[in-house]
Structure 1
Amino acid sequence: MENQQETMFKLSMFEQQMQQIQQQIRAVEQAINEMTNLNFGLDELVGKKGKEIMAPIGRGIFTKAKLISEDLVVDIGGKNFVTKNIAQTKELVDSQIKKLLEAQKDLEKNLEKIGGEFREIVEKAQEEQQKEKGRKEKNN
């Protein structure tokens, strides 16, 4: 009985860990998609200096604006901003996408490892259950 409770507790913990990792993977995938879309948006700016563009000002809200420069002000973290051209900005975005892809791969490996441990515990529990069933049948 005690062993069964311990097994159920372990399985519950592994299940929670797997759900958390899956949630993290979804968040990373969303960030990758956003960064990829940003890259496409940067491509659209090339050669548009002096032309009218649609500039986002909030969630789903845009305004018409005239692009007076192909230099961009980029947040590099810690409330620090630098000026970069489109190509430099694309390099930065590509670097961030690469880091996100690595994080995704690490999360997937971790999920696979925990899933394997989960399956091992289930298999052992099933074996124990079969042994116990065999013992009971032998005693009857």
Structure 2
Amino acid sequence: MENNQQELIFKLSMFEQQIQQLQQQLQAVDQSIMDMSSLNLSLDELKGAKGKEIFSPIGRGIFARTKFLSEELTVDVGARNFVKKTIPETKEIINEQIEKLKDVKDNLNENIEKISGELQKTLIVAQEQKDKK
């Protein structure tokens, strides 16, 4: 009996740790989605801003007043590969990334539900074993 209780406690602890890790990943994905959506809104503000002064971030919380010379942007498309893109093309890339993040979020939620189901099953089995005694 002591062994079964220890095994049960171990299983429950593992399930809880897995759920916690997935929830942390879910929070990070949610934050990324919010950041990308915010970036999308910022790009909307750049439309028609050619020739105007804007504040450009140059570091954490530090901005420089700059003149927006072109609506052509230099975009990192991965592996430090930079390409020139228009604002609409850049928004399209961002929207694709947001959709991929939403897919990741859905997968994380499915995994959380699956593990929660396993946790519930384990608790039910443990309760049934306890009731038999």
TM-score scaled to structure 1, two decimals?
0.92
Q: Which runs of 5+ in 1 are unaligned?
A: 133-140
Distance in 1 (alpha carbons) for counterparts of 2:97 and 2:78: 13
Q: Answer with 1 or 2: which has the greater Rg.
A: 1
1:55 aligns with 2:53: no
Which residue pairs with 2:128 in the alignment?
127
Deviations 1:35-78 (A, max 9, x none): 00000010010000001111111122111110000000000111
1:25 aligns with 2:10: no
What's the CA shift for 1:131? Answer: 1.6
Mapping of 1:16-95 within 5 angstroms? 16-95=17-96
Q: What fraction of aligned residue pairs are identical, expressed as a percent?
A: 55
TM-score scaled to structure 2, two decimals?
0.96
Deviations 1:17-38 (A, max 9, x none): 0000000000000000000000
Q: Which runs of 5+ in 2 are unaligned?
A: none
Alignment: residue pair count = 132
Distance in 1 (alpha carbons) for counterparts of 2:24 and 2:91: 28
Paired residue type of 2:21: Q
Paired residue type of 2:78: G
Paired residue type of 2:119: F
Which residue pairs with 1:136 in the alignment?
none
Paired residue type of 1:128: Q
Q: Which runs of 4+ in 1 moved over 6 A?
A: none
What's the CA shift for 1:128? Answer: 1.2
Which residue pairs with 1:117 in the alignment?
118
